Amino acid sequence: MNNIIKVVCVVATLLTAVACYADEGDAPQLEQFGRNIEQRTFVPKGQWIAGLSVSFSQSEQSNYSFLIVEGIDGDTYSFKASPLLCYMVKDDLGLGGKLEYSRNRVRMDRADIVLDSETDYSNENFYSISQGFSGMAILRNYINLGRSKRFGIYNEVQLRLGYTESKLCNGAGTDFTGTFARSYSAGLAVAPGLVAFLNNYSALEVNVGVLGFNYSYTKQITDQVKVAHLHSKSANLRLNLLSISFGVAFYL
């Protein structure tokens, strides 16, 4: 019993000493940590941003070979345009929207798939065309590079709704077959980018998608008889080189 009383007394003495030490204000203080990041206004509040990005590609093939596909005759083209309008609700933070139109066509008069010397497959009169429309609500946040007022980076969050229709035809005469499809999609994406001002009012922009959540539904009708449905969901966190886009923006 005496030992227990002694232990209690020692603990009480230590607690009293700690309390007195804290009251005297001599307790060690944690040093505040700062990264010394200097944030300057890059795009001021009240400014309008209007921009446009356009891409176009075209190719023609005549007796062209690629891997196991030989004797390709045909042509392809792809076109995409995307206007932008955004308003800066506060310094370096903007809200706005984008519209996008795309059109793709593939025409292949002939192509031979050769697996080996005894196995080959010939395809003729293949034709595919598609066009799509989409609208996006966007949120942009700008950060200047160092003290520069000419170069900066931004992060763009996109909420997207889209519609696409496509037609695919193959064969000729009694072997002709055709498929028509309609697709509806929705997605949320993050697209960081770089901006370089040419003067006070115009800039070049480039961005790339790195994160996205997407859902799409497709209804397909073949030869006006067969009906098929496709539901697709995806999520990714990777650099998508196919989503790189270049454009010109005007800061008014």
pLDDT tens track for 236-250:
776 666 667 778 888
For residues 53 and 25, the answer to whether their CB atoms sit within 8 Å is no
pLDDT at 10 over 50: no
pLDDT at 173 over 80: no
Fold of 41-251: Porin (2.40.160)
Q: Report the relative pairing of strands 211-222 and 226-237 from DSSP bridges.
A: antiparallel
pLDDT at 14: 52
pLDDT category, 73, cuts 50, 70, 90? confident
pLDDT of residue 8: 44
pLDDT for position 139: 92
Range scoring the smallest mean pLDDT among 11-25, 62-76, 221-235: 11-25
Judge residue 88's burial from the number of C-beta atoms within 10 Å of its C-beta, 0-12 exposed, 13-18 middle, 19 or more buried.
Answer: buried
Q: Examine the pLDDT at 79 and tell me if it is beyond 50.
A: yes
Instruction: Decide the pairing of beta strands 119-144 and 202-207.
Output: unpaired
* Better pLDDT: 180 or 32: 180
Specify the DSSP element, H or E, that contains 230.
strand 226-237
Check pLDDT > 60 for residue 3. Answer: no
Residue boundaries of the structural domains of the chain: 41-251
Q: Is 156 helix (H, G, I), strand (E, B) or coil?
A: strand
pLDDT(180) > 80: yes
Give the H or E element holding residue 150.
Answer: none
pLDDT tens per residue across span 191-221: 888 888 888 888 888 877 777 888 999 998 8
Residue with more model confidence, 120 or 60: 60
Is 173 in a helix, a strand, or coil? Answer: helix
Per-residue tokens: 23: 């009251």
Quick one: CA dihedral 29, 33, 38, 43, positive or negative?
negative
Q: Is the pLDDT of residue 138 over 80?
A: yes
Q: How many CB atoms lie within 10 A of CB 48?
A: 13
Q: What is the mean pLDDT of residues 33-53?
A: 79
Position 124: which residue type?
E
Per cent of the chain over pLDDT 90 is 17
Whole-number percent of the chain with pLDDT over 70? 77
Q: Residue 11's pLDDT is what?
A: 47
Residues 146 and 96 sit within 8 Å (Cβ to Cβ): no
Note the pLDDT of residue 239.
66
